[in-house]
C-alpha cells in the first residue's frame, strides 16, 4: 500500500490510472475522487478492497463525515470539485496540468477530470484563426463550419495514437445569456442542449470554472474585474480573441469569445462576417477513461505522458 500512496503523492494529481499492485486490488484504471461523498465499508474483507474506492479508503481511512487526507492531494495540485457537475477542474494561474498529446510536448492542458474517468483537455495554443460558421449561424450542431473542420480535416491529421485515445462525448452547446451572474444558471443553460462528437471548444462556464478566485466565477463579476480575474486562471494565456463553444442567447449568429484582456464577450463577434470573420481556435477533446498516465508530473517542462 505504501507504494500506491507514494504514487498518489507524486503522480496522481486527482487520478489513479494504470496502477498495478498485487493482491485483490489488481489493475486499477480509474479516476480518484475524495471519498467524502461515498460511504464504503470494507471491514468484512479485512480491509482488502475489491474496488477502486475501497483502495482509496484503505489508503486514507474510511471517511463518512470529513474528507480524507487524499483531498489535500487534489487541493495542492489545483483540482477543485465542481458543484454543478460530477467533474474536477484544474484551477488557478498555473497548476500542473500540462499533458503531451498528439506528439505535442506540453501542447495541451487538462481542463477537468470526470467521474466517469474521462479527461477533458484543451490545446494550449491556437491551431489558427478560423470562421466559426460561414453561414453566420451559431448552432454548433447544424453543423457549424468549424465543427465540420475540427471533426473532419483536423481530426484526420492527428496521429493514429491520438485518435485512438479520443472518445466521443456530449459537449454542451446551449445558448448563454450575456452578463449572467449566476453560474449555476449558466451551466444549466449550456447543458440544455448537447452535441455528441469528438472535438469541440471550451464553453464559457468552463473558462470561468478554471478560475481559483471565487469572485471571478460568474460572468458579470469576471468581466467587471477582468484585470484581476485573468491572473487567476491558467486558461487565459497569450492566445487572444479565441472562440468558445457557447452561442449568445439573444440572436442566432453571435458567439462568445475570450478577448485580449481576458474578458468574455460577444460584441461584434458573429459566427461569420466578411470583414471580421476569423478568430483563434483552441480545440477541446475528451480522452477515454482507458487512457493511462504513464509518466511526467504535469509541469510544462515535464508534462504528463498519456498512453
- Stated as kind and residue range, the H or E segment containing 68 is none
Residues 215 and 262 in one domain: yes
Looking at the structure of the chain, the number of domains it has is 2
Residues 123 and 51 in one domain: no
Q: Tell me the three cell numbers of residue 199.
A: 472535438
Instruction: Give the pLDDT confidence score for residue 171 in this predicted structure.
Output: 98
- Stated as kind and residue range, the H or E segment containing 256 is strand 255-258
Residues 50 and 142 in one domain: no
Residues 142 and 180 in one domain: yes
More confident residue, 73 or 258: 258
Q: Is residue 91 part of a domain?
A: no
Residues 184 and 37 in one domain: no
Instruction: Give the pLDDT confidence score for residue 143 in this predicted structure.
Output: 96
Instruction: Give the pLDDT confidence score for residue 10 in this predicted structure.
Output: 37
Instruction: Give the pLDDT confidence score for residue 261 in this predicted structure.
Output: 75
User: Left (φ > 0), alpha (ψ -120 to 50) or beta: where does 75 sit?
Assistant: alpha
- What mean pLDDT comes out for the span 72-79? 59
Q: How far apart are CA 4 and CA 28, in angstroms?
A: 11
- Beta partners for residue 79, in sequence order: 90
Q: What is the mean pLDDT of the chain?
A: 77
Residues 6+ apart with CB under 8 A from 13: 73, 74, 77, 79, 96, 97, 297, 298
Q: Is the pTM of this model over 0.85?
A: no
Residues 37 and 117 in one domain: no
- What mean pLDDT comes out for the span 27-35? 35
Instruction: Give the pLDDT confidence score for residue 271 in this predicted structure.
Output: 67
Residues 167 and 277 in one domain: yes
Asked if 108 and 101 touch (Cβ cutoff 8 Å), the reply is yes
- What mean pLDDT comes out for the span 51-56? 44
Q: Is residue 82 part of a domain?
A: no
Instruction: Give the pLDDT confidence score for residue 277 in this predicted structure.
Output: 65
Q: Is residue 34 part of a domain?
A: yes
Residues 51 and 180 in one domain: no
- What mean pLDDT comes out for the span 121-146? 93
Domain holding 116, by residue range, is 98-287
Query: pLDDT, tens digit, for every residue of 221-239?
Result: 776 777 888 899 999 988 8
Q: Is residue 299 part of a domain?
A: no
| pLDDT confidence bin for 117, thresholds 50/70/90 | confident
- What mean pLDDT comes out for the span 245-271? 78
Q: Is residue 183 part of a domain?
A: yes
Instruction: Give the pLDDT confidence score for residue 193 in this predicted structure.
Output: 97
Q: Is residue 300 part of a domain?
A: no
Residues 71 and 102 in one domain: no
Virtual torsion, Cα 146, 148, 153, 156, nearest 10 deg: 120
Q: Is residue 71 part of a domain?
A: yes
Residues 73 and 103 in one domain: no
Asked if 189 and 174 touch (Cβ cutoff 8 Å), the reply is yes
Residues 272 and 185 in one domain: yes
Residues 137 and 228 in one domain: yes
Q: Is residue 113 part of a domain?
A: yes
Instruction: Give the pLDDT confidence score for residue 11 in this predicted structure.
Output: 35
Instruction: Give the pLDDT confidence score for residue 21 in this predicted structure.
Output: 30
- Stated as kind and residue range, the H or E segment containing 205 is helix 204-209
In terms of DSSP bridges, do strands 304-306 and 98-101 run parallel, antiparallel, or are they unpaired?
parallel
Asked if 284 and 199 touch (Cβ cutoff 8 Å), the reply is yes
Amino acid at each position: 500500500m505504501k507504494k500506491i500512496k507514494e504514487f498518489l503523492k507524486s503522480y496522481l494529481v486527482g487520478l489513479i490510472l494504470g496502477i498495478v499492485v498485487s493482491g485483490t486490488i489488481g489493475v486499477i484504471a480509474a479516476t480518484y475522487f475524495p471519498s467524502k461523498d461515498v460511504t464504503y465499508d470494507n471491514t468484512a474483507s479485512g480491509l482488502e478492497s475489491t474496488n477502486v474506492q475501497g483502495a482509496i479508503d484503505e489508503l486514507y481511512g474510511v471517511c463518512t463525515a470529513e474528507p480524507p487526507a487524499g483531498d489535500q492531494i487534489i487541493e495542492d495540485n489545483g483540482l477543485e470539485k465542481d458543484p454543478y457537475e460530477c467533474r474536477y477542474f484544474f484551477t488557478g494561474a498555473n497548476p500542473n496540468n500540462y499533458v503531451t498529446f498528439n506528439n505535442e510536448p506540453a501542447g495541451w492542458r487538462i481542463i477537468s477530470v470526470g467521474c466517469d474517468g474521462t479527461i477533458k483537455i484543451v490545446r494550449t495554443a491556437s491551431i489558427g484563426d478560423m470562421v466559426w460558421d460561414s453561414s453566420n449561424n451559431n448552432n454548433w450542431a447544424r453543423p457549424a463550419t468549424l465543427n465540420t473542420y475540427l471533426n473532419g480535416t483536423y481530426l484526420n491529421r492527428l496521429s493514429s495514437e491520438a485518435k485512438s485515445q479520443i472518445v466521443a462525448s456530449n459537449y454542451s452547446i446551449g445558448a448563454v445569456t450575456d452578463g449572467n451572474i449566476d453560474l449555476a444558471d449558466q451551466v444549466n443553460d449550456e447543458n440544455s442542449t448537447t452535441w455528441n462528437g469528438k472535438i469541440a471548444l471550451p464553453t464559457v462556464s468552463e473558462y470561468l470554472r478554471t478560475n481559483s478566485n471565487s469572485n471571478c466565477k460568474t460572468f458579470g463579476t469576471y468581466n467587471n474585474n477582468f484585470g484581476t480575474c485573468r491572473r487567476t486562471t491558467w486558461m487565459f494565456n497569450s492566445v487572444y480573441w479565441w472562440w468558445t463553444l457557447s452561442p449568445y442567447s439573444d440572436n442566432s449568429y453571435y458567439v462568445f469569445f475570450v478577448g485580449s484582456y481576458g474578458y468574455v464577450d460577444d460584441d461584434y463577434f458573429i459566427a461569420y462576417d466578411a470583414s471580421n470573420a476569423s478568430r483563434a481556435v483552441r480545440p477541446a477533446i475528451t480522452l477515454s477513461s482507458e487512457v493511462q498516465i504513464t509518466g511526467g508530473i504535469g509541469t510544462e517542462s515535464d508534462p504528463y505522458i498519456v498512453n
